[in-house]
Structure 1
Amino acid sequence: MRSKPGVTRRGLLLGGPAALVAACAGRSAPVAAPPSAAPASSPSPLKASITIHRRHSAARGRDVDVVLMTPDGVPSTGLPVCVALHGRGANARTFLDLDLPAALTAAVRSGTPPFAVVAVDGSHYWMPDGGDDPHRMLTDELPGWLSESGLRPMAGLFGISMGGFGALNLARRRRDVTAVATCSAALFRTWPEARTRHVFASQDDWTAAEPLQHVDELPSRGLGVWCGDGDSFVAANRKLISTAHPEVARITPGKHTSEYWKGVLPEVLRFLGPRVA
């Protein structure tokens, strides 16, 4: 197993005080301006620790990115972990584009118990596809990578779109997972719907993996579901809500877009924190 040194980025917010203008007294001699006032206080920057390792996944037959995100000022050693699964056509770094690290710091500053979010590259709805098995990577390889980074085992799952499918499918088999959150989960009510994705080799393969076909195996406690009311998967998410009875269910204005996911991310992180801690 190989890893390369981590790369750390920090966000920064800048601010400055307004200038003061001095008035002159009614005499010809110039009067020195009073000293500048002390700078006005401003909020501390929303920074976060972001470390990216390159790992070889035998399960996937390739190298993958493992992106570790922790809140600012919190040592990563011993933190509980939520594993984040990205959507189709995306990758682990997508969560950086969604500003998850800053949202995580903000959530912890508002009182959410600190935790780490770890994302890894996946594909195929996080299911096996020939010699590429991202599901086995999550179950057999990721635990060792977390341990090597000084983190606790996976306690939570967070998935967007295809990642929502993967998170729910994995949660069926992992009773040690105490929290699962999905955004715009790419679920399918029928085989004809699923077949259009050209991911599932057969109806039997889809039936075996589709979370809506195994609702009785999903956790209700510690389950949160978010979806936009204009999302193409909203009907399937409504079915998930009505059958799985999640602890939190939110159908709010939005579509299957990064803007929607950014908007609900703070609430998702506040939901996950106490449940993975």
Structure 2
Amino acid sequence: MRRPGADGVGHAVSRRGLLLGATALTLLAGCGTEKPPLMGPPPVAPPNSPTPLTEAVTVQKMRSAARKRDVNLVIIAPDRGSRVGMPVCVALHGRGADARTFLNLGVQEALNQVVAAGLPGFAVAAVDGDNYWVDVGEGDDPQRMLTGELPGWLAQRQLRPPSAMFGISMGGFGALRYAREHKDLKAVAVASAALFVSWPDAKSRKVFADRGHWESHEPLLHTGDLSASSTGVWCGNSDPFARADRKLIKALDPAVAKMSPGEHNDDYWRGIMPEVMKFVGERIA
């Protein structure tokens, strides 16, 4: 995987960071690892006081009390202009991934296109989640992290509170769940949203405690709580969640509803990223 910035996208990489990356690659090669590690910009220490975001792409570890663990905080901004006071779109990843997955999906290139088209710039902030971004007990509550902790982390970097959401797969479920409680969001975009048309389907994921727990969170059962005018839905016709996403489109009649050729993979998400970021950019300011 290419490290962000290898094609000229702006962010600083220290000599120490490069040496650490080279050392990690050497060790992995010696262990016979087949897949290269997921690379990103070198980590930097969290600020102790409000500090403007000076690099276009950063990856930091933050302690989440809501999740009782350290999580990645990835912030991606356009590579030009001041980031101080930028609005923020939160990006939620799919199952089995983490926040760093957005480093390889063309997010910054799409943000640069938004700015080049004359729209105001904004930042994308991603954090690690799990369990369809809902509280399943065991002291792990991703929704509480998004609501109670993430705004403070953004404020430390002189960024605005979240005003838009973007979710892929499991993250689509989480973004729609978040939107039910945050009706002031200006944009909610979901791609290949992992939604469930029945309890047996949801139960097979081994996440929800029981049917009542699933029903309380399932976006398809609460479309009345969502804003059609601020929602965009993208899904590939060959995606295993295509049927569920078509049901969402029929029930909600969102501002954008695009079913197109594609599967449930990075190629599809990378292909639609410019459209998604444009959708958010037209609304977030």
Q: TM-score, normalised by structure 1?
A: 0.83
CA contact (8 A) 2:195 2:219 kept: yes
For 2:60 and 2:7, how far apart are their aligned partners in 1?
20
Residue 107 (structure 1) aligned with residue 103 (structure 2): no
For 1:199 and 1:191, how far apart are their aligned partners in 2?
12
* Equivalent of residue 94 in structure 1, options 91, 95, 101: 101
Task: Tell me the matched-pair count.
Answer: 237
Report the equivalent of 2:272.
Answer: 264
Q: Report the secondary structure of 1:77's partner residue.
A: coil
For 2:163 and 2:241, how far apart are their aligned partners in 1?
26
* Equivalent of residue 216 in structure 2, options 208, 213, 220: 208
CA contact (8 A) 2:190 2:232 kept: yes
CA contact (8 A) 1:8 1:51 kept: no
For 1:72 and 1:155, how far apart are their aligned partners in 2?
21
CA contact (8 A) 1:70 1:76 kept: yes
The residue identity in structure 2 corresponding to 1:76 is: R
Per-residue deviation at 1:106? Answer: 2.1
Per-residue deviation at 1:102? Answer: 1.8
Report the equivalent of 2:61.
Answer: 54
* Equivalent of residue 171 in structure 2, options 131, 145, 163: 163
Per-residue deviation at 1:8? Answer: 8.5
Per-residue Cα deviation, 1:148-197 (whole angstroms, up to 9, x for no partner)? 11011110000000000000000000012111000000000111111111
* Equivalent of residue 183 in structure 2, options 160, 169, 175: 175
Report the equivalent of 2:35.
Answer: none
Residue 85 (structure 1) aligned with residue 92 (structure 2): yes
For 2:272 and 2:4, how far apart are their aligned partners in 1?
25
The residue identity in structure 1 corresponding to 2:155 is: S
Q: Report the secondary structure of 1:68's partner residue.
A: strand
Residue 11 (structure 1) aligned with residue 7 (structure 2): yes
Per-residue Cα deviation, 1:11-37 (whole angstroms, up to 9, x for no partner)? 328xxxxxxxxxxxxxxxxxxxxxxxx
* Equivalent of residue 140 in structure 1, options 121, 138, 148: 148
Residue 187 (structure 1) aligned with residue 195 (structure 2): yes
Unaligned runs of 5+ in 2: 10-54
CA contact (8 A) 1:10 1:49 kept: no
CA contact (8 A) 1:85 1:122 kept: yes
For 2:183 and 2:81, how far apart are their aligned partners in 1?
28
- When Rg is computed on C-alpha atoms for both structures, the one with the higher figure is 1
CA contact (8 A) 1:200 1:206 kept: yes
The residue identity in structure 2 corresponding to 1:222 is: S
For 2:77 and 2:115, how far apart are their aligned partners in 1?
10
For 1:242 and 1:146, how far apart are their aligned partners in 2?
35
Q: How large is the Cα RMSD of the aligned pairs?
A: 1.5
For 2:122 and 2:62, how far apart are their aligned partners in 1?
22
Per-residue Cα deviation, 1:100-136 (whole angstroms, up to 9, x for no partner)? 1122112221223211100001111001131111110
CA contact (8 A) 2:183 2:226 kept: no
CA contact (8 A) 1:59 1:134 kept: yes
For 2:4 and 2:159, how far apart are their aligned partners in 1?
17
For 2:242 and 2:56, how far apart are their aligned partners in 1?
34
For 2:143 and 2:275, how far apart are their aligned partners in 1?
27
For 1:213 and 1:244, how far apart are their aligned partners in 2?
11
For 1:175 and 1:67, how far apart are their aligned partners in 2?
24
Report the equivalent of 2:75.
Answer: 68
Q: Runs of at least 4 residues of structure 1 off by over 6 A?
A: none
Q: Flag the structure with higher helix content.
A: 2
1:8–1:196 CA distance, 2 compared to 1 (3 A): closer
Report the equivalent of 1:25.
Answer: none
Q: TM-score, normalised by structure 2?
A: 0.81
Please list, as runs of the form range in 1=range in 2, the aligned pairs for 1:149-160 lying within 5 A after superposition: 149-160=157-168
CA contact (8 A) 1:165 1:211 kept: yes
